[in-house]
Amino acid sequence: MATQSPASPNTTAENPPTSATEIVQPKNEVQQHSQAEAPKPISEPSVFKNSEPLREDQVQNAVKFLSHPKVRGSPVIYRRSFLEKKGLTKEEIDEAFRRVPDPSPSAQATTTTTNQDGQVKSSSNIQPLAPTQALQPAAAAPTGAISPGGTLWRSRFHWYHAVFAVGLLAVSGAGTAVLIKNTFVPRLKSWIRKVVLEDENDILKKTDAKPSLAEEAAAAAKAAAAAAADVAKASQEMLNSKNNEKRYFEEFMNLLDVQVQEMKSMSNSIRKLEGQTNYSGRASIASQEDHRISMTNVKQQYANGKTDFDSRSVRSSSPPAPVEPSIAPHPKSYMEIMAMVQRGEKPSNIRDINDQPPNPNQQLSNPRLAPRAKAQNGSSHVPQSEVSAEGLNYMVQDDGVNNQLENESAVPWWQRKNVRISEIENENELKAGPNEAAEAIRRPKPSVQKEQLAGGDRSVSHPSDVTDELQRITKISETGNAEEINGGAQC
Amino acid sequence: MPFFKTPFNGYSVKFSPFYESRLAVATAQNFGILGNGRLHVLDLSPTAPTLSNLVSFDTADGVYDLSWSESHDSLLIAAIADGSVKIYDTALPPTANPIRSLHEHTREVHSTDYNPTRRDSFLTASWDDTIKLWTVDRPTSVRTFKEHAYCVYNAAWNPRHSDVFCSASGDCTLRIWDVREAGSTMIIPAHEFEILACDWNKYDDCVIASASVDKSIKLWDVRNYRVPIAVLNGHGYAVRRVKFSPHRRNLLASCSYDMTVCLWDFMVEDALVARYDHHTEFAVGVDMSVLVEGLLASTGWDELVYVWQQGMDPRAVVLAFEQTSGKGKKLGDSYLCGMYSCKLEMNAIRWNRAMYGSALRCSWKLSINLFVVGHPFDV
C-alpha cells in the first residue's frame, strides 16, 4: 500500500480490482479532512487531541498540590495520575511539573521505571493494610493531607488515641481528687471543729466534773474513731476508683495491643503474599478490585472536604451520580480457589501443557477469503462515492444470497429476514428481493473472485512492507515529524 | 438457541469477521486464577441451532481474550494470562499451532484488538500498565505505550481512523492514543473507579463508551469530553464488557458481573432496550456479529457460550428426539422433563419463522430429527 500511493491516496481509479479496504482507506482520509476543525493540507488538528488552551487556574492548583511537602515524597506516577483524575490535560500537568522544581530525576511518567507491581507499591508505602491502599493513598493522601506513608496516619491514630486515653485518665483522676477533697476536707474540718469544740468543752467542763473526763475522753476517742473510719472509707473509695481507673486503662491498653497484633499479622500475611509467585499476585489483584471498592468508600470520607480543587464539582453536576460500587458475590468455588491460592496450594486439576510454538518460523497458511465488507462501513451518514457504497451493499447482499444457495433449506436460522416492528432501518441491506438477488448473484461473484486473488497477492507478497510502513510511522512519531506522517500514513 | 458448554470458565467471545457462522471463545481454568486455558473455535450449524467445536487449542495459562485477524481468515490472536500473546492458524493442523508466541508483557495480557481498517496490526493491553502494538510477521512489538498508572484492561481501535485507539485502565482514566504521536493525545477521567472496558461507536467515530466497576456505562464525545453525553445505569454490579453494534448507530451491548447481558439505546431517555439473564455466573464476554445483524454471543464463568438473535430468549430449549425410541432426549440443561412426549403426536409442527427465526423440518412419521425450539415454559 505504501508503494502504490506516493502522491495523494485519493486516486483509487488506477486500481479497479481493489477491494473495500482500498476504498475505506482513502475514505478515512476524506473523512479526516472533512472533520478537521481547520482543514489544512499539511497538519490538520486531530479531533482526538486536546485543543483547549491551558487553564491557568488548574495549573495553579496543580502547582500548589505539587509543592506540598507530603506530595513531594510520593512517586511521580501517582502525582500525575492524581492530576489526570482531576481532569487536567497533559499540557497542564506538564506545565505544572515544569513550574515546580522537581528534585527527582525523572519527572516524566513515560520514563518512570517505578515498579508497577501492585504489591511492591504497597511495600513502598509501608502500608499494613491490604495493597489496595497503595493506589488510593495517591488519591486520598494529597487531598486529605494524609501522607502517602500511612504509618504516620496510623501512628497518629495511636498517638491520638493514647493521648486521649491519658487525658481522660488525668481528667478523671483530677475529678475524683477534687471530689474526694470536697468530701474529705469538709469532714476533716468538721472533725477538727468537733475536736476543738470538745476540747473547749473539755476545758469548760474540766473544772465542772472531773469524773466526766473519762467519759469525754471516751467520747473523743469515739469521735476520733468515727473520723478515722470516715477517713478510711474515703481513702478506700479513692483507692477503689483508682483501681477502676487502672483496670480500665489496662483493658484499653490491651485492646490497643490486640489491634496492633492484628495489624502486624496482616502485614505479615501481606509480606508473605508478596513473596509468592505470579499467580498469587493475580489473586490479590482480583481481590484488590473488591477491596479497593470498600477501601475507597472509607477513604472518600476523609478525602472529601480536604481538597483544594473545585473541578470535582463540575463533573458532579452532570446526570445522576454514579452508584456506589458493591462487590459482586463471587461463586463459592471461586472463593475456595482464591483461598487455596493464597495459602500457596495449587488446585489439582492443572496440567502441564507445552504451548510453545512447535515451529517459531511457521509460515501462515494462505488466506482463503478476502476481507469482507462490513455494514458499518457501507451505511453511514458520511458521504462516500456512489460506486463504493453500491459495491459494498452488493457484496453484503451477495453473502446472504450465497448462503441461501448453499443450503437446501432456507436461509440459516440466525439470519433475520423478517421485519420486526422496532427495527426496520438497516434491513434493506440484508434483504434480497428475487430480482436483486439474481443480479447480485451474477455481478459481484467475479469481483469476489478477483478480490480473492488480489487479496491473496496482497497479503502474501508484501507482508514486510506493511510492517515497515507501520514501523516508519511510529518511528517518525517518535522523532516528531508531522508532515511526513500525514503523507505516508493513510494508505 | 444454541449454547456450548466449555470445560473451563469463559472469558471472551468474538465472532469471526470472515465467516458468519464462526466464533471463538477464550476460556481459563479455575476462573482464571490459576490453571490452564483453552481457545475454542466454534461453528454454528445453519440448519439446526447447535454450536459445534471446530478446533480447540490448549494453553498453559488461562486465555483472557482473543481477536480475529482482519486480513487473514484463519488467524487468531490470543491474550494469555502468563503475559504471552499467541497467534493461532486454524487452517493448520493443531500440532502446528501456535505459530507464534510473543512474550514481552511482564504481567497478564488482558485484552487484544485487531486493527479493522489498517488490518495489519493489533494491540495488546496488559496488567503491567502498558499497551503494545504488534504486527503478525514481526517477532517483537512495534511500539509500547506506557502511561497508565495501573492495569490496562482494554484497548480498542477506532473503526474509522486507523491510527487512533483508546484504552481503559484501573487508574480510572480513559486514554486516547494516536500511533503517530509519542504519547496519549487525550486523557478522560471517566469514572471514579476502575474502568474495565471501552469501545468506539461504529457510526460516529468520536463517541466512546466506557464501562466501569461503578456499575455504569458512560458515553463520551471526544470533542467535548468533560461531560459524558449519556450515563447508562442499570447493571447491578461491575460492567465487564461493552460493545457497540456494527449495524445500529445507537445500540450497544454490555455484560456484567450481575450475570446479565443488556442492550442499550443511548439516545433514548429510557436507555435499556433488552436484558438477558441467561447466565448463572458472571457474564464476562459479549460480542455482536458484524456480518449478521442482531446476532449476539455471550459467555460467562458458568462455562457456557450462548448465541442468539436479538429479541429472542438465549435459553430457548432445544430438544432432539431420537427416531427409534420416540422419547425425548435433552441436549444440555433444560428445565423441562417429560412434558414433551405427548406433543409428539402432533403432526407437522410448523413454527412461525417470524417469531423464532429458525427453520424447522419435520415429518412426524419419520421423526428423525425434530427440533423444537421455543421458550421452555411454552412447550
Partners of A448 on chain B (C-beta within 8 Å) are: none
Judgement on whether residues B154 and B256 belong to the same structural domain of the protein = yes
Tell me whether A339 touches chain B (CB under 8 Å).
no
Tell me whether A349 touches chain B (CB under 8 Å).
yes
**pLDDT at B41 (0 to 100):** 96
**pLDDT at A169 (0 to 100):** 94
What ipTM score was computed for the predicted complex, to two decimals?
Answer: 0.74
Q: In the predicted model, is pLDDT for residue A89 greater than 60?
A: yes
Q: In the predicted model, is pLDDT for residue A311 greater than 60?
A: no
Greater pLDDT, A146 or B210: B210
Q: At what angle do helices A278-303 and A332-343 cross, to 10 degrees?
A: 110
**pLDDT at A100 (0 to 100):** 85
Average pLDDT over residues A52-71: 89
Judgement on whether residues B366 and B296 belong to the same structural domain of the protein = no
Cβ–Cβ gap B193/A90 under 8 Å: no
Judgement on whether residues B254 and B206 belong to the same structural domain of the protein = yes
Interface with chain B: mutation pick from A121, A313, A342, A364, highest number of B CBs within 10 Å: A364
Cβ–Cβ gap A416/B361 under 8 Å: no
pLDDT in tens, A473-489: 655 545 544 444 344 44
B168-172's contacts with Cβ under 8 Å and 24+ in sequence apart are B168/B195, B168/B196, B168/B197, B168/B198, B168/B210, B168/B211, B169/B129, B169/B194, B169/B195, B170/A135, B170/B194, B170/B195, B171/A81, B171/A84, B171/A85, B171/A135, B172/A85, B172/B212
- Listed ranges A268-277, A314-323, B326-335; the one with the highest mean pLDDT: A268-277
Partners of A337 on chain B (C-beta within 8 Å) are: 30-31, 33-34
Cβ–Cβ gap B161/A331 under 8 Å: no
Which residue shows C-alpha cell 467535548?
B224
Tell me whether A447 touches chain B (CB under 8 Å).
no
Average pLDDT over residues A446-464: 43
B52 strand-pairing partners: B43
From the list A28, A371, A375, the residue facing B70 with the nearest CB is: A371
How many angstroms separate the CA atoms of A396 and B292, rounded? Answer: 10
Partners of A289 on chain B (C-beta within 8 Å) are: 194, 213, 238
Partners of A50 on chain B (C-beta within 8 Å) are: 185-186
CATH, residue B93:
2.130.10.10
CA distances from A280 to A283, B59, B109, B127, B152 (A): 5, 19, 16, 14, 19
- The size of the A-B interface in CB pairs under 8 A is 347
Question: How close are the terminal C-alpha atoms of chain A, in Å?
Answer: 6
Residue by residue, DSSP assigns B241-275 as: EEEE-SS-TTEEEEEETTS-EEEEETTSSS-EEEE
A2-6, A133-137, A468-472, B299-303: least confidently modelled range? A2-6
Reduce the DSSP state of residue B113 to 3 states and report it. Answer: strand
Per-residue cell: B251: 445500540
pLDDT in tens, A213-239: 888 888 889 999 999 999 999 999 999
- Name which of A65, A87, A86 is nearest A76 in CA terms: A65
**pLDDT at A385 (0 to 100):** 36
* Strand ranges for A48-185 from DSSP E: none
pLDDT averaged over chain A?
64
- Listed ranges A156-160, B258-262, B367-371; the one with the highest mean pLDDT: B258-262
* B181 phi-psi bin (left φ>0, alpha ψ -120 to 50, beta other): beta
Question: What does residue A239 show for φ and ψ, rounded to 5 degrees?
Answer: -60, -45
A292-296, B77-81, B184-188, B307-311: least confidently modelled range? A292-296
Residue of A nearest to B259 (CA): A328
Name the residue range of residue B369's domain: 316-379
The three state secondary structure string of A188-223 is HHHHHHHHHHHHHHHHHHHHHCCHHHHHHHHHHHHH
B23 strand-pairing partners: B15, B42
Q: In the predicted model, is pLDDT for residue A471 greater than 70?
A: no
Last residue of some domain: B314, B345, B367? B314
Judgement on whether residues B25 and B51 belong to the same structural domain of the protein = yes
- Name which of B301, B295, B304 is nearest B257 in CA terms: B301
From the list A85, A473, A476, the residue facing B189 with the nearest CB is: A85
Average pLDDT over residues B134-148: 92
Average pLDDT over residues A72-94: 88
Judgement on whether residues B242 and B363 belong to the same structural domain of the protein = no
How many angstroms separate the CA atoms of A307 and A295, rounded? Answer: 18
* Strand ranges for B119-258 from DSSP E: 121-126, 130-135, 143-146, 152-157, 164-169, 174-178, 184-188, 195-200, 207-212, 217-221, 230-232, 239-244, 251-256
Query: Of chain A residues 49-88, which have a CB less than 8 A from chain B?
Result: 49-50, 77-78, 80-81, 84-87
pTM confidence score: 0.58
Please state, for a pLDDT cut of 90, what percent of chain B lies above it. Answer: 74
**What does chain A come to in residues?**
491
Query: Of chain A residues 303-322, which have a CB less than 8 A from chain B?
Result: 314-315, 318-320, 322
Judgement on whether residues B47 and B164 belong to the same structural domain of the protein = yes
Q: Are B77 and B91 in contact (CB under 8 A)?
A: no
Q: In the predicted model, is pLDDT for residue A148 greater than 60?
A: no
Judgement on whether residues B240 and B325 belong to the same structural domain of the protein = no
How many angstroms away from the CA of A58 is the closest CA of chain B? 14
pLDDT in tens, B88-115: 999 999 888 899 999 999 999 999 999 9
Judgement on whether residues B73 and B222 belong to the same structural domain of the protein = yes
CA dihedral A74, A80, A83, A85 (to 10 degrees): -110
Judgement on whether residues B54 and B65 belong to the same structural domain of the protein = yes
Going by pLDDT thresholds of 50, 70 and 90, the confidence category of residue B121 is very high
Order the strands of the B207-212 sheet from edge to edge: B195-200, B207-212, B217-221, B230-232
Cβ–Cβ gap A414/B44 under 8 Å: yes
B352, with CB counted inside 10 A (0-12, 13-18, 19+), is exposed
How many angstroms away from the CA of B190 is the closest CA of chain A? 8
**pLDDT at B131 (0 to 100):** 96
Greater pLDDT, B75 or A204: B75
Partners of A473 on chain B (C-beta within 8 Å) are: 163, 179-180
Q: In the predicted model, is pLDDT for residue B116 greater than 80?
A: yes
Helices assigned H by DSSP within A68-149: 69-72, 76-85, 90-99, 118-124, 135-144
A111-125, A335-349, B118-132: least confidently modelled range? A111-125
Per-residue cell: A149: 506513608
How many angstroms separate the CA atoms of A123 and A20, rounded? Answer: 54
* B326 phi-psi bin (left φ>0, alpha ψ -120 to 50, beta other): left
Cβ–Cβ gap B117/A24 under 8 Å: yes
A111-125, A249-263, B17-31, B143-157: least confidently modelled range? A111-125
pLDDT averaged over chain B?
84
How many angstroms away from the CA of B216 is the closest CA of chain A? 7
**pLDDT at A150 (0 to 100):** 45
Q: Are B211 and B239 in contact (CB under 8 A)?
A: yes
Q: Are B136 and A464 in contact (CB under 8 A)?
A: no
Q: In the predicted model, is pLDDT for residue A185 greater than 60?
A: yes
Partners of B178 on chain A (C-beta within 8 Å) are: 46, 48-49, 477
Question: What does residue A280 show for φ and ψ, rounded to 5 degrees?
Answer: -75, -25
Tell me whether A160 touches chain B (CB under 8 Å).
no
Judgement on whether residues B29 and B174 belong to the same structural domain of the protein = yes
Residue by residue, DSSP assigns B34-54 as: SS-EEEEEEEE-SSSS-EEEE
How many angstroms separate the CA atoms of A401 and A407, rounded? Answer: 10
Last residue of some domain: B274, B290, B314? B314
Per-residue cell: A190: 468538721
Last residue of some domain: B297, B314, B331? B314
Judgement on whether residues B291 and B332 belong to the same structural domain of the protein = no
HSE on the CB side for A406, CA within 13 Å?
Answer: 11
**pLDDT at B301 (0 to 100):** 95
Average pLDDT over residues B362-369: 38
Going by pLDDT thresholds of 50, 70 and 90, the confidence category of residue B19 is very high
pLDDT in tens, A272-308: 877 765 555 565 555 555 545 544 444 444 444 444 4
How many angstroms separate the CA atoms of A458 and B71, rounded? Answer: 10
Average pLDDT over residues A458-487: 50
Total number of domains in chain B: 2
From the list A31, A315, A474, the residue facing B179 with the nearest CB is: A474
How many angstroms away from the CA of B340 is the closest CA of chain A? 23
A188, with CB counted inside 10 A (0-12, 13-18, 19+), is middle
Exposure class string for A264-302: b at 16+ Cβ within 10 A, else e: eeebeebeebbebebbbbbbbbbbbbbbbbebbeebbee
pLDDT in tens, A21-58: 444 444 444 444 444 443 333 445 678 887 778 889 99
From the list A328, A413, A463, the residue facing B137 with the nearest CB is: A463
**pLDDT at A204 (0 to 100):** 74
Judgement on whether residues B299 and B336 belong to the same structural domain of the protein = no
- Name which of B219, B230, B304 is nearest B261 in CA terms: B304
